[in-house]
Structure 1
Amino acid sequence: MSDRDPLEGIPDALLDWHKGALEGDAAVCAAAQPGYPSFPCINNRAYHERHRDVLGRTWPLDTEEPLYVARRSPVVDGMVTVETRDHGAVTLPEPTWCRGFHTEGGFRSDIEHASEEDATGIPTLCHDLVDVLGVSLVQRPFSPTAPQVHALVKVDEEVHALNSRGLDVAAALLVEHAATMRHLARKLAALEVQR
């Protein structure tokens, strides 16, 4: 048995959601994970298609369906292999921007490359630091509708209280975050040209 902390290397923002799930924060889904009661769902209470824990493991809203686990897949000569339920082992190129986690046991069309998410944290009166406008690159190469690389922008549907100072800080942080989004847009444009 390893003495390594399973939460070692997890970003602070995800650890905060994990702590919130364990402590009963009303903003966090916190649905129990079958077989892993110490790792509840860290998604917010807004609609989500699957539950997800701090380690990236996902499970269906209907717990009768099997658990699918996102694991860091080994990359060999720029290629990654993902086990699927409908096409067996699928080997495909791994983009340099992908963070390397792939869900095993799903459908081939669900194979997804995803970059790290960049967000800006805005201090609020009600929930302390809240991540807003998370942006990442995503590609589902076997998707029948959108196989190209594209950006995902996460917009939180919750309302948070700010005073006048907080609103001013939020505006400044959003201006800074716009530079991050512009940089990602240029990176995405370069990837679109490579197609």
Structure 2
Amino acid sequence: MSARTITLDTIDRGPVVVPEPGWCRGHEGELPEYFADITHNTRIVRAAATTDRHGTVPLLQVHISHAPYRERFPEPHPVISVVLDCKQDFVAEDIAELIEGLRSVERILAYTSVEAKRLREVQP
């Protein structure tokens, strides 16, 4: 997979041309940032459980991210950005739905891990 290039306005360097991986969702609408803060992201994938008591309960947000220009902790390869998002009290009857939602979390994380490894292999 070959990277295309994109011109981004930065606070510290003005317009810069950087490679943009084909999997990046794009940077449209982003405000200028520092060069070191340029980050490529996939779309966000979410998982939730639907319970009788709480309705839809968010459990997970995940996407692949790559910040190759960071000054501290540069990312030589794409990483997986994970937000686990559940703090609720559940009645016993809702636990089956919660477990099914957690199975979705497991499947999404497993798929995202495989995809991040694949992207690492095809990265220029």
Task: Please tell me the TM-score bracket, short chain as reference.
Answer: 0.7 to 0.9
| 1:180 shift after superposition | 1.9
Work out the CA distance in 2 between the residues paired with 1:123 and 1:161.
14
Superposed CA RMSD: 2.0
| 1:193 shift after superposition | 2.4
Give yes or no for contact 1:135–1:153 (8 Å, CA) kept in 2: yes
Task: Work out which of the residue numbers 22, 33, 49 in structure 2 matches 1:96.
Answer: 22
Give yes or no for contact 2:47–2:101 (8 Å, CA) kept in 1: yes
Task: Work out which of the residue numbers 112, 129, 138 in structure 1 matches 2:56.
Answer: 129
What count of residue pairs does the alignment treat as equivalent?
Answer: 117
Work out the CA distance in 2 between the residues paired with 1:120 and 1:159.
14
TM-score, with structure 2 as normaliser: 0.81
Q: What are the within-5 Å matches in structure 2 for residues 34-183 of structure 1?
A: 78-101=4-27, 103-124=30-51, 125-126=53-54, 128-144=55-71, 145-147=73-75, 148-156=77-85, 159-183=87-111
Identity of aligned residues (%): 21
Work out the CA distance in 1 between the residues paired with 2:58 and 2:16.
34
Work out the CA distance in 1 between the residues paired with 2:112 and 2:40.
15
- AA partner of residue 107 (structure 2): A
Gapped regions of structure 2 (runs ≥ 5): none
CA deviation string 1:89-120 (max 9, x = no partner): 11112112211136332100111111111121
| 1:161 shift after superposition | 2.6
CA deviation string 1:17-58 (max 9, x = no partner): xxxxxxxxxxxxxxxxxxxxxxxxxxxxxxxxxxxxxxxxxx
Work out the CA distance in 1 between the residues paired with 2:50 and 2:100.
12
Gapped regions of structure 1 (runs ≥ 5): 1-76
TM-score, with structure 1 as normaliser: 0.54
